[in-house]
A = this chain, B = another copy of it.
Amino acid sequence: MNLTNLKELLFGRRLRTEEEQTEQIMPSAGIPVVGLDALASAAYGPEAALTILLPLGTLAVAYIAPIMAIIIVVLFSVAISYRQTIEAYPQGGGSYTVAKENLGTNYGLLAASALCIDYVLNVAVAISAGVGALVSALPGLLPYTLPLCLFILIFLTAVNLRGVRSAGVIFMVPTYLFLGCLGITIFYGIIKTLQAHGHPVPVTQLPVITTSTATVTLWLLIRAFASGCTALTGVEAVSNAVPIFCEPRVPLAKKTLSAIVLLLAFLLAGIAFLSHSYGITATTPGQAGYQSVLSQVVLAVSGRGFFYFVSMASILLVVSLSADTSFTDFPRVCRLLALDQFLPAAFAHRGRRLVYSNGIIILSILSGLLLLVFGGITDRLIPLFAVGAFLAFTLSQLGMVFHWIKSGKSNVGISLLINGAGAIITGITLIIIVISKFSEGAWLTILVIPALFYLFRSVRLHENNIARQIEDTDPLKIPHFSPPIIVVPLQRLDRLVKKALWFSFSLSSDITAVQILSDDLEIEDLTPSWNEMVGKPSRAAGYKPPKLVVIQSAYREYFGPLLSYIKNLSSTYPGRMIAVIVPELVEKRWYHAFIPNRAILLKNLLRLAGGPRIVIINTPWYLHE
């Protein structure tokens, strides 16, 4: 009872399957739930591009605007494509479905592998980035980096196990606070820039820009672009999660996607504009005097006041909570894979709050492991990020191209054009990212994607193998059989064994009790007393008395001689089933789970090594504590 209450308190009451609707959300909640990942990108996309441009010194400022412009073009192309995907796949398309249905299963699995990696990385990186910002603001917390990361992970897991609606409500406040703060900063900054005829004076002194140490090369600009593209991760989230929206589902999902993309584009453009007009570049990460680009932008526009701290707090919250988008989408990708048998069926079952709990838990475990392995500092994982996202983008766009071609309709020209352009743009971006980020860790993603691909394939192979072996559509065939031979292993004639003995009378008349003796165990040989204790009462009650077999164990082993006796019996009577009764003392205290128990060992041994004609009958006996 108590446990049920605790569970309800933590995860909310159970939801009936018919209550699906109550968990569906409107775009206002959709933006935090599926948009957090994309929007938080505003905090690190421009920063990533500017960091690559660092060697250019003040010159960097001149290049950030065009680079951001190209990134925004890619963003819009991706977004328009995904709007079409949502329309074409209202059941939650996403890259996996689109690629699978139009390009073939292998391409679908490729997209799914890429997405899964992207989502797991996103959780680890987002949480650790948020915590990293927090501990750089409050250095006293530095030793608690990992515990803080794990705490946020557990919080996100719990919120998501409560259901989509809870997540939407909880994440609304920080999301809109973040959008509000950055929006005000950008508008105010634009006004100031206009008033100052393009050359506003920062309210707070900005860090000195290091002098240029390199000349502009195409390769540098390409790398800056590739780094800035991390700003696009998370854009596909809406298309995976269409079913979480209220009806009319498709227009609401499209509206949500448009809102997210417009907001993101506004933030990216605004940040680029202000960093240009105020002359803001990145500072070297990990060195003294490091300050994030967003922090510099807000300081330049509004100074180090109350507004600055609210803005920084909202950025920090949104960055670490942006992990939440993965919690919405990863379980849905797993569910789709499970429906196609590429993952165990358990990933397709909704839990007590109508979310795919198993996917949520696995995501939490995998990203928790990443956080543990990297001690809560996952900077080095950031380059791995964009590869997965853009591979999924490209496959999805390409899939849409084939979708329109296959559809055979005549009025698909523009759609085809949009998705074709999207495929080309994201494809080129993918190649740029892979090449420019290869040595920084992208090679790792390229190794892990085939591994996951292989995993999905093997699960399906295995599941199919099982299905083939156990499937049987014929009516029940009942073989000729005698009642089973019952074997009751025993050491002493205690209550447990007696229960097993009299219960066995109800199953068969062919019962053998087996006692294993060894010099080390101070156990009385039951042979002399057997007739008096068991034989006579059995006959008196009208049953054939159980036979007693006493085995001397030369090597003081228990399981060995017992198992060979049972195997011998099984080969002596090749036509019969052998039921081994395992009496078991059940103790309910938690630590008993860690104490090896002879009954449990015997059951497992018989299960694994018994053979098809051995059946294990477990008679529990409860101890009154």
Contacts and interface: CB of A to CB of B under 8 A. Distances in A.
B532 A475 contact: yes
Interface string A515-554: 0001111000000000011101110010100000000001
A537 B472 CA distance: 15
A590 to B, nearest CB: 11
A139 interface: no
A620 B579 CA distance: 11
A478 interface: yes
Given A17-B520, A17-B554, A503 B577 contact: yes
Given A495-B472, A520-B17, A538-B476, A607 B612 contact: no
Contacts of A607: 584, 586, 618, 620
B352 A557 contact: yes
A470 B518 CA distance: 22
Interface of A: 14-17, 344-346, 348-352, 465-466, 469-472, 475-479, 481-484, 493-496, 498, 501-503, 505-508, 518-521, 532-534, 536-538, 541, 543, 554-557, 577, 579, 584-586, 588, 595-596, 603, 606-608, 610-612, 614-625
Given A615-B617, A616-B618, 17 more contacts: A14-B555, A14-B557, A15-B555, A17-B518, A348-B520, A352-B556, A469-B495, A472-B495, A475-B534, A476-B533, A479-B502, A481-B506, A483-B506, A506-B577, A606-B620, A612-B620, A616-B620
A234 to B, nearest CB: 28
Q: Among A533, A588, A617, find the residue whose CB has the most chain B CB atoms closer than 10 A.
A: A617
Contacts of A584: 607
Nearest to A467: B494
A478 B537 contact: yes
Contact of A475 (B471, B476, B536, B617): B536
B519 A502 contact: no
A98 to B, nearest CB: 23
A482 B502 CA distance: 11
Given A494-B471, A554-B16, A556-B349, A476 B622 contact: no
Q: Among A349, A478, A520, A608, find the residue whose CB has the most chain B CB atoms closer than 10 A.
A: A478
Contacts of A478: 502, 505, 537-538, 541, 543
Contacts of A608: 586, 588
15 contacts: A15-B555, A17-B554, A17-B555, A348-B520, A465-B625, A469-B623, A470-B496, A472-B493, A475-B536, A478-B541, A482-B506, A484-B506, A603-B618, A615-B618, A616-B620
B618 A556 contact: no
Contacts of A557: 14, 352
User: Within the oligomer, what is the number of copies of this chain?
Assistant: 2
A578 to B, nearest CB: 11
Q: Among A481, A496, A555, find the residue whose CB has the most chain B CB atoms closer than 10 A.
A: A555
Given A471-B495, A493-B472, A503-B577, A351 B621 contact: no
Q: Among A520, A603, A618, find the residue whose CB has the most chain B CB atoms closer than 10 A.
A: A618
Contacts of A623: 465-466, 469
A506 B493 CA distance: 27
B533 A475 contact: yes
A533 B508 CA distance: 27
Contact of A470 (B505, B619, B621): B621
Contacts of A348: 520
Nearest to A532: B475
Contact of A498 (B344, B350, B476, B520): B476
A478 B478 CA distance: 32
A495 to B, nearest CB: 5
B518 A498 contact: no
Contacts of A352: 555-557
Closest 6 CB pairs of A and B: A470-B494, A616-B618, A478-B541, A14-B555, A476-B537, A470-B495
A602 B14 CA distance: 21
A354 to B, nearest CB: 8
B615 A16 contact: no
A111 B461 CA distance: 60
Q: Among A476, A520, A617, find the residue whose CB has the most chain B CB atoms closer than 10 A.
A: A476
A344 to B, nearest CB: 8
Contact of A350 (B556, B579, B616, B625): B556
